[in-house]
């Protein structure tokens, strides 16, 4: 009887050592949703960039600059070289005011509606276009930025006044820069 139990245990051990077989999904997606989403976003970006380029072409009073980060801007007030040569870097504390409007100059957030903001560069939450734009500024400068929706508030908006996929115009005045070295 002991031999029978021993043989049974050996056979069950060999059978249980079988490697598991892969389970395949019942249904497979073709990836068409992702392809449709990519096509939609490319079309949306092309429309927004076209509208921004029309605004730039029709405004001969300003000298627009295309940034490498996917937005355009011009100086309202350029800082004198004697005021500051420093641009904000990671960890610096900046103080600024800004207001936001549509590309058609319809105000979304009036000047003064948002309080003066103190921001630790790249260490706090701020929409990506403004985060990149502030790094181009010097203390005392005022710049107007034209952001396509993906550099502004994107698909989600700001959950208040700015809706889904809205390109915006933002005018920012940078009041001060406190370098990270002086904060420590």
pLDDT in tens, 69-104: 999 999 998 876 535 678 999 989 999 999 999 999
Please state, in angstroms and rounded to a whole number, the distance separating the CA atoms of residues 116 and 128. 18
Q: How far is CA 66 from CA 49, 55, 119, in A?
A: 11, 13, 24
Alpha helices in the chain (DSSP H): 2-16, 32-58, 128-134, 180-183
Model's pTM, two decimal places?
0.78
SS3 168: strand
Q: What is the mean pLDDT of residues 55-77?
A: 94
Residue 17 burial (C-beta neighbours within 10 Å; 0-12, 13-18, 19+): exposed
Tell me the sheet residues that pair with 76: none
Name every residue whose Cβ is closer than 8 Å to that of residue 144 and which is 6 or more positions away in sequence.
Answer: 62, 73, 74, 76, 169, 170, 171, 172
Please state, in angstroms and rounded to a whole number, the distance separating the CA atoms of residues 177 and 142. 14
Predicted local distance difference test score (pLDDT) of residue 45: 93
Predicted local distance difference test score (pLDDT) of residue 82: 39
Between 171 and 116, the more confident residue is 171
Q: What is the mean pLDDT of residues 15-44?
A: 78
**Residue 147's closest CA among 161, 160, 128?**
128
Q: How confident is the model at residue 30 (pLDDT cuts 50, 70, 90)?
A: low
Q: How confident is the model at residue 51 (pLDDT cuts 50, 70, 90)?
A: very high
Give the residue extent of every domain in the chain.
Answer: 41-183
Predicted local distance difference test score (pLDDT) of residue 3: 77
CATH fold for the domain made of 41-183: Chitinase A; domain 3 (3.10.50)
Predicted local distance difference test score (pLDDT) of residue 146: 96
Most confident of 15-19, 83-87, 120-124: 120-124
pLDDT digits (tens, 9 = 90+) for 159-169: 888 989 999 99
pLDDT digits (tens, 9 = 90+) for 135-160: 999 999 999 999 999 999 988 888 88
Average pLDDT, the chain: 86
Predicted local distance difference test score (pLDDT) of residue 25: 72
């Amino acid at each position: 009887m002991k031999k029978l139990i021993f043989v049974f245990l050996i056979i069950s051990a060999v059978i249980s050592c079988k490697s598991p077989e892969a389970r395949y999904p019942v249904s497979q997606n073709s990836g068409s949703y992702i392809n449709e989403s990519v096509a939609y976003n490319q079309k949306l970006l092309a429309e927004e960039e076209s509208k921004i380029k029309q605004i730039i072409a029709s405004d001969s009073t300003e000298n627009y600059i295309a940034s490498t980060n996917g937005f355009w801007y011009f100086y309202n007030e350029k800082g004198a070289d004697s005021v500051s040569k420093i641009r904000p870097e990671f960890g610096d504390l900046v103080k600024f005011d800004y207001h936001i409007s549509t590309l058609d100059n319809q105000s979304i957030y009036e000047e003064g509606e948002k309080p003066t903001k103190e921001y630790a560069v790249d260490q706090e939450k701020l929409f990506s276009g403004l985060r990149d734009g502030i790094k181009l500024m010097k203390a005392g400068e005022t710049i107007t930025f034209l952001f396509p929706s993906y550099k502004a508030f994107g698909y989600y908006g700001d959950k208040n006044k700015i809706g889904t996929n809205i390109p915006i115009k933002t005018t920012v005045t940078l009041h001060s820069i406190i370098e990270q070295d002086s904060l420590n």
